[in-house]
A and B are shown apart, each in its own frame.
Chain A
Amino acid sequence: MTLMFSRAISYKSVWDFAAPDSIAESQRWILSTMQKYGQELVTMLWRILGNEQDVLDAYQETFLQLAHFEGGQKPKHIKAYVFRTANNVAVSMLRRRIAERNRLPVSARSEKTLSSPANELDSKYLQEALRECIAQLPEHLRIVVTLRDLAELSYAQIGRILGISAATARVYRCKAVQLLTVWMSKEK
């Protein structure tokens, strides 16, 4: 968090003094993008991360990357860029969080992370287990499953974002669910 904040501050100062005014004038599309996709992005990030502070950081990082894309140029497919970036940022954060948790000694971890029959029906335990499994998926499968199941986009929209056909997206999602099923059963 502190790291994120300091990075944000540094970006802020660089952006304030280094970029020419003409770029800022022509960067109003960033605000339009925020207005158009902000709500969907926040929902997707919330579902991936499940933590408000992480959502705020990931959202900020996404728009920072968008503002700095090729020296402040507007990407050709903004929706695709924004969703993919947000997804990657969120999954990196999730992986970091999992790694930090795994570094803790077993005794220091909360009881909920250890599997027990009572945890099987515990929603928080199930959510965390699934998030962990999603973070382990190969990128092409992970992005489809997050866009389809967490961002609730249609296969056609996913196809357009990823540059694949809707049928391919459907196949990837099916494979992702198969893998998640196997991994979730191993979680036991």
Chain B
Amino acid sequence: MKMTKIKTSNKCRRIRAWLYTALNRHFGPEANWLNEHIKNCPRCQRRLISCGKVNLALSFIKSQPHKLDLLKRANTQAIGVLKHSLRQESKAQKLKKRLPEPKLLERCGKYGSSLANLAACVLVLLLMKIGVFSSMDNFHSRGQKVIKQYYAKQVGEDMADEIFPEGSKTTAQRNSHGFTNA
């Protein structure tokens, strides 16, 4: 029941994303017909410029920083008009000294690239380790095979089988046999 629900919601999300992309392609600001129209329509040009102005002004407002101690001063002023007993609380004293703190995501943001680099290094090391071990194993099994062939040639197949029994085969050999048999 739960699985069906998840499947449906995934399907729904996929359809929504597809719809959004399709609509955006045909009716979004990047649509060709819209660009063509705006090129030749002075009224729409003016409207588009104004829309840009609104967005620009909003960005200006958002990018304007306030002084670092504004929160501290605001808390101090607001606490100053509360009841005396509230003003004496230890929490109130802390609030009076409080400075703005970045959100958890913003705090972790600066470590993002370092973490990504570390993860990449670990991955490369892991791949190298796997590669080295698998090559060594391969090298070992091939060496054994060559020696077995040499023995088989020199002292006969039976003796060679005795010296190199089937059970002593390495994992790589087993795998390669399995693969060829299949």
Contact = CB atoms under 8 A, between A and B. Distances in A.
Nearest to A58: B74
Nearest to B102: A39
A28 B57 contact: no
Q: Is the interface of A mostly helix, strand, loop or mixed?
A: helix
B77 A56 contact: yes
A17 B143 CA distance: 96
A38 B95 contact: yes
Interface residues of A, number: 51
A11 interface: yes
A28 B91 contact: yes
A50 B56 CA distance: 16
B83 to A, nearest CB: 4
Given A46-B70, A52-B70, A127-B57, A24 B81 contact: no
Interface in A146-164: 149-150, 152
B81 A50 contact: no
Interface stretch (B23-31, B45-53, B151-159): B45-53
Given A38-B98, A181-B54, A185-B47, A130 B61 contact: yes
- The B interface is mostly helix, strand or loop, or mixed, namely helix
Given A181-B47, A185-B46, A60 B77 contact: yes
A50 B64 contact: yes
A32 interface: yes
A28 B91 CA distance: 9
A123 interface: yes
Nearest to A177: B54
Contacts of A140: none
Contact of A32 (B47, B51, B91): B91
A130 B59 CA distance: 11
B5 interface: no
20 contacts: A24-B86, A27-B83, A27-B86, A34-B78, A42-B71, A47-B64, A52-B67, A52-B70, A52-B73, A55-B74, A60-B81, A63-B82, A64-B81, A67-B82, A129-B57, A181-B50, A184-B54, A184-B57, A185-B47, A185-B50
